Amino acid sequence: MSTEFHQPSEIQRGRTAYRRRQTIRSVLLAALSTAVVGVLLAVAVTGAPGWDRVKLSFFSPDVAVEWLPEILEGLWLNVRLLVVCAVLALGLGLLIATLRTLRGPVFFPVRALATGYTYTFRGLPLIIVIYLMAFGVPGLRLQGTPGVLVLGGAALIITYGAYLAEVFRAGIESVHPSQLAAARSLGLTYRQTMRHVVLPQAIRRVAPPLLNDTVALQKDVGLVSLAGPIDAVRAAQIGVAQDANYTPYIVAGVLFVLLALPLIGVTDWVTLRAARRQSAGS
């Protein structure tokens, strides 16, 4: 490690300055073109003949303020449900994917069951699963039946577990067989190979689609409101019905987007990092 002060060459400094200028220029250009597009859009929307009516029934500040507390209360339910369901669905997906990739004729029934599960629940509409769980299961009148919220959450976990299982499986199968062979030749058991060699690579590879499915789950947790609990969209619907004004839907929509932003940001960052790692050295 040399301690003397490093001075870039004249040419290198010129390059740096040129690049900086280029960056500033492109940022300015981008800002200008964005401003132009924005103005055009604003003119097109607000200049439309029906804009006043739309503004009144979709963007009424009074109505928005009136229903915001209820919608936020509903959103809190969405958030709690999302966290629990996402964690459990990821766990279930990983478990099913591992079962599906077991080797050996002995495990055929396990593989068949796991495959049947993913086929069924990826094909079955979520609403029907929720109806079966939240309206069908309590009808059995079993002792200790959990509340509809838990049952609706279970429906979400089962459905999304099937999607996530397929994502995990794609990841597991994308790990090159030589990795497995190398691990086994080092004397690792199958379980150790999966745990230390295959799964870490697999999960890293499919992190973006996993997070993508989690973003999708965020919107679908609201469907639990079919069974009675009031989520953000349901609270908005009540507001719409009472005030004959669609603003609450817009409020709920904006809140959902805000809620999704961090998750989408994380997804982008993970994707970018994975891309950098894969192309490292090139």
Partner 1 sequence: MVSRNTLAALSSAAVLLTALAGCAPADESGPSAGASASPSGAACATGALDTQTAGKLTIGTDNPAYEPWFKDNKPNNGQGFESAVAYQVAERLGYPAQNVVWAQVTFNNAIAPGPKTFDFDINQFSITPERKKAVDFSSPYYLVRQTVITTKGSKIAGAKTLAELKSAKLGAQVGTTSYQAVNEIIKPDAKAQVYNNNDDAKAALVNGTVDGIVVDLPTAFYMTAAELDNGVIVGQLPQVGVPEQFGLVLDLDSPLTGCVTQAVDQLRQDGTLAVLEKQWLASTGGAPELS
Question: CB of 272: closest distance to partner 1 in angstroms?
Answer: 42
Our CB check for partner 1 shows the closer of 137 and 263 to be 137
Determine how many CB atoms are found less than 10 A away from the CB of residue 211.
Answer: 19
Residue located via tokens 């004397």? 187
Question: CB of 106: closest distance to partner 1 in angstroms?
Answer: 42
Residue located via tokens 């979520």? 126
121, 162 in Cβ contact below 8 A? yes
Our CB check for partner 1 shows the closer of 200 and 228 to be 228
Question: CB of 253: closest distance to partner 1 in angstroms?
Answer: 18
Question: CB of 225: closest distance to partner 1 in angstroms?
Answer: 7
Structure tokens that stand for 200 in this block = 């870490």
Question: CB of 193: closest distance to partner 1 in angstroms?
Answer: 47
Alpha helices (H) along the chain: 10-46, 51-58, 61-100, 108-123, 126-131, 137-139, 148-174, 177-185, 190-193, 199-220, 232-243, 247-278
Of 118-157, binders to partner 1 (CB under 8 A) are 134-135, 138-139, 141, 147-148
171, 205 in Cβ contact below 8 A? yes
The SS3 call for residue 10 is helix
**75 is a site residue for partner 1 (CB under 8 A):** no
Our CB check for partner 1 shows the closer of 107 and 131 to be 131
Our CB check for partner 1 shows the closer of 229 and 259 to be 229
Whole-number Å distance between alpha carbons of 143 and 137 = 11
Give CA angle at 246 (244, 250), nearest 5°: 160
**79 is a site residue for partner 1 (CB under 8 A):** no
165, 206 in Cβ contact below 8 A? no
Of 237-276, binders to partner 1 (CB under 8 A) are 237-238, 240-242
Of 217-236, binders to partner 1 (CB under 8 A) are 225-230, 234
Our CB check for partner 1 shows the closer of 141 and 276 to be 141
Q: Would the CA dihedral through 260, 262, 265, 271 be positive or negative? A: negative
The SS3 call for residue 202 is helix
Q: How many residues bind partner 1 (CB under 8 A)?
A: 19
Question: CB of 199: closest distance to partner 1 in angstroms?
Answer: 40
Question: CB of 151: closest distance to partner 1 in angstroms?
Answer: 9
**169 is a site residue for partner 1 (CB under 8 A):** no
Question: CB of 226: closest distance to partner 1 in angstroms?
Answer: 6
Whole-number Å distance between alpha carbons of 125 and 248 = 27
Our CB check for partner 1 shows the closer of 102 and 250 to be 250
Whole-number Å distance between alpha carbons of 114 and 38 = 50
Our CB check for partner 1 shows the closer of 126 and 175 to be 126
Our CB check for partner 1 shows the closer of 152 and 171 to be 152
Structure tokens that stand for 108 in this block = 């055929």
State the residues that interact with partner 1 by CB under 8 A: 134-135, 138-139, 141, 147-148, 225-230, 234, 237-238, 240-242
